[in-house]
Structure formats: structure tokens, C-alpha cells
Amino acid sequence: MVPGPYGVWSARARCALDHWRSALTDYAAQSQFESQIPIKYRESFRPFAPSVLREDVSEWFELDSDSPYMLIVADVREDRRRSMTTDEQALFGIDKLNVVRSEIPAVTHVDYSARIQTVHANTNPLFHRLITRFKELTGCPVLVNTSFNVRGEPIVCTPEDAFRCFMGNDLELLVVGRSILYKSAQDTHLKKDYSSAFELD
């Protein structure tokens, strides 16, 4: 499995909740702040959400019920949290936001909560298999799942949309149906620069 972040597009997509039009990445690869800028170009205080295997949700969060639509917020379990040092507690604003607070920092809010999506084998089998394989490789059943778009633009609707977005951010690869496109193999003349379009933190 290639480390994230990577984009997924399929004609059967409805939204990011079924992962067919999602940007996915490792739960612990980066803090929220560091992830926002190269992937979404949106404000760093807006956290990402975790997709977690339904059968493992209670091992990582203070939750043991279904949340397939990211409608439930629950705390990260205390034994998965990291206490802030005195120096970290004295920080302010973006610096404090960027402190790693748990084993899954990219989805942990400043108050140790997360907006959770549970992934079920019977309703979302492909995504469930993907996370299961990720768990086999890393020991963690959690992926970051966010909509496939950048700030100010709608979610990608066509393969062309997906490719354009892919070429304008730091996604490393794009999955379109059965095809995989690696950023390193693309024509650099097709690269789009979103960074100048937004005032970043």
C-alpha cells in the first residue's frame, strides 16, 4: 500500500462517505494543520474526519454504535491520547492547534474529539477491505477521509475534475476506476497551482 494522501474517483460515487470521491490518507501522517494546506487549501482549524472499521470503533473512540454518515462526534479514548507538555499548553492559536494530541493526530480535535464515520462490511465492503488491509499493515483501523476537492470548489464529479484537482495539490496518486495514476509520472506542464488562489494560514 502506498502511503497517502491519495484521491479516489468512481462513477458510482455519491459523496465522500462511500469513499468513491474521497481524498484518503494515513491517520498519523501529519497533524491537522500540516494536512490542510497541501491537500485542501482550506483553513487549518477545520479538522478532518476518521473512517474506522465498525468492529474496532470502541477500541479507539468513546463510542460503540453506528455512525455511517459522520453525524456523531465522540472523544478519542483516553489511552490513545497524548498529554500536552507545559510548554505546549502555553502555545496560542495555530501553534497550539498543531500540537499532536493522540495516536491519530490528523483526526483529533483540540478537545480530543472526532467526527466519526464507521465503515461496515455489509454496506461498504470495498472500503471496509481497504481499511482492513491498512490495519494489517499498520495495526490501526483508521483512515482520514475527506471530500475530493479543494477549498472553494465542489466535490469532483468527472474523471477530468479528479485529474485537475489531483494535479493542483499534494495527492501522491489518483485511483480512477481500475486505473492508478502516480503524480511523479504525470506531465509537469499539466500541474495546476491552487496555492496562489487562497490566503493561507
Q: Please, which residues have CB within 8 angstroms of residue 55's CB and are 6 or more apart in sequence? A: none
pLDDT computed for residue 153 by the predictor: 86
* CA-based nearest residue to 196, from 154, 168, 165, 177: 168
CA distances from 87 to 30, 74, 98, 135 (A): 20, 27, 13, 33
pLDDT computed for residue 66 by the predictor: 98
Longest dimension (CA), the chain: 50
Distance (Å, rounded) from C-alpha 137 to C-alpha 28? 14
Local confidence pLDDT in tens for the 201 residues of the chain: 545 566 777 655 444 455 567 888 775 555 554 555 567 776 666 778 999 999 999 999 999 999 999 999 999 999 999 999 999 999 998 888 888 899 998 899 989 999 999 999 999 999 999 999 999 999 999 998 888 888 888 899 899 999 999 999 888 889 998 899 999 999 999 998 776 666 655
* CA-based nearest residue to 81, from 56, 62, 68: 62
pLDDT computed for residue 18 by the predictor: 55
pLDDT computed for residue 29 by the predictor: 53
Specify the pTM: 0.85
pLDDT computed for residue 15 by the predictor: 47
pLDDT computed for residue 68 by the predictor: 95
CA distances from 81 to 31, 102, 182 (A): 14, 4, 34
pLDDT computed for residue 131 by the predictor: 94
Q: What is the DSSP string of 132-175?
A: HHHHHHHS--EEEEEESS-TTSPPP-SHHHHHHHHTTS---EEE
pLDDT computed for residue 196 by the predictor: 67
